[in-house]
Every structure is written in C-alpha cells, then in structure tokens.
C-alpha cells in the first residue's frame, strides 16, 4: 500500500459546506479518446499498451492544467491501492480490476484525472462541486485540445471520435451529476423517476458509476449515448433534467416534513445517535446514516454535525481508505471497528 499520503488531501469536488447544496453533490465530465493506428487497450499487446502509456504520459506533461500532475503506473500498485483510487472517483471499477499496462494522471486537488488504457486509451475526467457541468466542460475541452495537438486521435468525419464501446462513439462525452435523493427513495417515488429517465436516454448509476450499486441515496445521473448530439446539447439536456429532479426532491422533502414531522425528526436523530456512538459499523450503514443526517441539516434541525465533515466521512470511511490509513490489510470486522473509531473522532472534532 503506497497511497497513504493522499488520505489527508481534501477532495475538492466535495468542498461545499452549504447545506442548501446538499442535493447536488458534484458535476463530472468525461471524454473518451483513442490513439490512431493502435488497437484498443483490450486488443493491444503489452508493447502496444506500453507505447500508448508512454505517448500519453509525455503529452500530459505539456498541458497547462496538468503542470505538476502525478502520473502513476498502476502496475506498481496493489489491489487496495487501486480500490483506494476508485473510492476517490479517480479511476473506474474496470480500471481498478484490469490487467496490462494501465496508468492514471492526477491533477491539482483531484479535480482532473486521466485514465490511461482503461476501455479506451484516454479517459479525461473533470469534477467540481455542485451543478457546474458547463464550467467543467470548458476545462476538459481545453485539456482535450492541447492533448490533441500532440496525439493523433482515432476519428471519423462521418461519426466522430472512435471508441471501444459504440455507445461512446461520436463526441465521446459522458456527463454526470451526483445527487442526494433520500426522500424520493423513502417515498418510493424514485422508481417512477428512474423509469422516466430511461425513456429520454438518461441513466442513473451507483456511487462508483456503471455496474455499481446505490449507497447513501446517492445517484449518478448521466447521458446514455454520445452519438448525434453536440457536447453542449448533451450538457444542457442533462442539467435541465437534473434541475427537475432536484425540484422534485425539494417538493417531496417539504411534503414529508409537513405530513410526518415527528417521524422524520426521530429518524434523523436516531441516525446521528448511532453514528456518534457506534463501536462497529459497516461502510454501507455509515452512508445510510450520513444520508439521513444530511437531510436533517437541510431541513434546519439542530444537529451537532457539519456538512463538510459528513462529506469527508463519505470518503475516508471507505474500505480501502481505512486500510491505507492503518497501513495494513484488515478483515471486514476490524475495518468496521476502525471506521467507528474514526467517525467518533471526526464528529467530535478530535481528529
């Protein structure tokens, strides 16, 4: 395990401490690109993967937004390290578990990262707190333009950028907004919302993206296809959809609070009592309790917890983070004890 130095670094896309922004956590834009005349990573041999890693790493060093960025060869890092990077949303589930020559570029404050040799040769990702898709897109577009000056992209004038998965072909752009929807889940309205999204080419994924489950009532709302629409259109459509979802969550929160105020308050304070006093706790339970407490803060309840601290706990209590901080591989029961101890210290401000 080699990534303990990242533990104390703040995850900038969780930087908001405004309780009114508790519904929208962050915005992300990701671009998929491939090098011309080199097979996609899954079809490339080791020499070809090494070539793409070397060429992309060299080009990255000339990008203004990535001055001083760390470039990691994932072959040098074990399974816990890779899971740690996934938990920080720097790499995907697939990238963490894949073999061959793979890399990662980590920019300032983790707002920008580039996966090398994931499904595609290049996955450029940018993140910001709140609804800021347009701002993130402007930053990612600059990086893409600068990389494109030194790297020959695989491109078709008929259909756009060529990617390993057909659903990414075209712009190669996937945008997503991470939203906290506890009341839509409580009232089971979320099922109706998810069905409606599917009809308009929008998909909701779990905490770590495609193929992962929802935890803590957090959903990644993302465009499903990239072909046939401009980048600006994709972003505008997704922002519009997310604002409607946010408005529905706000309305449902007000309705639930007026209809069952005592029950909701009881749920929130029970959650805080458990989180503050538990001696053993799983990550999934931690996320469920944090979700309820953040809802209580949004509703104006007097709770001795800050949104910023709760956001940090969402990151540092994950399994690989616990093990990196302890400096050893721990079985689940021991992780649960260490997690509970960390939470108590963070909640009381003693850590």
**What ranges do the domains of the chain cover?**
4-253, 260-348
| CA separation for the pair 156, 318 (Å, rounded) | 42
Confidence of residue 209 (pLDDT cuts 50, 70, 90): low
Q: What is the structure's pLDDT at 350?
A: 52
Which has more pLDDT, 242 or 226? 242
pTM of the complete model: 0.92
Question: What's the pLDDT tens digit per position in 59-104?
Answer: 999 998 898 899 999 999 999 999 999 999 999 999 999 999 999 9
In whole angstroms, give the CA distance from residue 2 to residue 191.
Answer: 41
- pLDDT value at residue 290: 96
**CATH assignment, 4-253:** 3.30.590.10
Which residue in the block uniquely carries the two structure tokens 């599917």?
A: 198
Angle at 126 between CA 122 and CA 129, to 5 degrees: 160
Apex 54 CA angle, 50 and 55, nearest 5 = 120
């Amino acid at each position: 395990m080699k990534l303990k130095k990242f533990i104390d670094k703040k995850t900038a896309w969780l930087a908001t401490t405004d309780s009114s922004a508790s519904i929208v956590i962050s915005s992300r834009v990701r671009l998929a690109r491939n090098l011309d005349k080199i097979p996609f990573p899954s079809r490339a041999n080791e020499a070809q993967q090494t070539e793409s890693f070397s060429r992309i790493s060299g080009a990255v060093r000339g990008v203004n937004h990535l001055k001083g960025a760390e470039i990691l060869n994932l072959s040098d890092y074990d399974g816990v390290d890779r899971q740690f990077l996934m938990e920080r949303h720097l790499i995907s589930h697939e990238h963490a578990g894949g073999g061959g020559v793979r890399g990662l570029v980590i920019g300032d404050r983790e707002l920008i990262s580039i996966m090398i040799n994931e499904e595609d040769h290049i996955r450029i990702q940018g993140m910001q707190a709140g609804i800021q898709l347009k701002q993130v897109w402007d930053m990612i577009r600059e990086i893409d333009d600068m990389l494109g000056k030194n790297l020959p992209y695989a491109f078709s004038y008929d259909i756009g950028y060529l990617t390993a998965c057909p659903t990414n072909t075209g712009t190669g752009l996937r945008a997503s907004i991470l939203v906290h929807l506890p009341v839509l889940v409580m009232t089971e309205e979320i099922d109706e919302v998810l069905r409606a999204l599917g009809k308009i080419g929008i998909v909701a994924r779990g905490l770590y993206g495609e193929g992962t489950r929802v935890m803590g009532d957090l959903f990644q709302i993302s465009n499903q296809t990239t072909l046939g629409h401009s980048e600006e259109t994709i972003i505008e459509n997704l922002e519009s959809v997310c604002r409607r979802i946010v408005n529905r969550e706000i309305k449902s929160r007000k309705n639930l609070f007026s209809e069952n105020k005592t029950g909701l308050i009881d749920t929130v304070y029970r959650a805080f009592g458990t989180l503050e006093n538990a001696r053993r706790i799983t990550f999934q339970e931690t996320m469920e309790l944090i979700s309820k407490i953040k809802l209580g803060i949004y509703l104006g309840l007097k709770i001795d917890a800050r949104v910023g601290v709760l956001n940090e706990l969402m990151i540092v209590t994950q399994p690989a983070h616990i093990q990196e901080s302890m400096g050893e591989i721990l079985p689940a029961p021991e992780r649960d004890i260490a997690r509970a101890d960390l939470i108590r210290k963070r909640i009381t401000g003693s850590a």
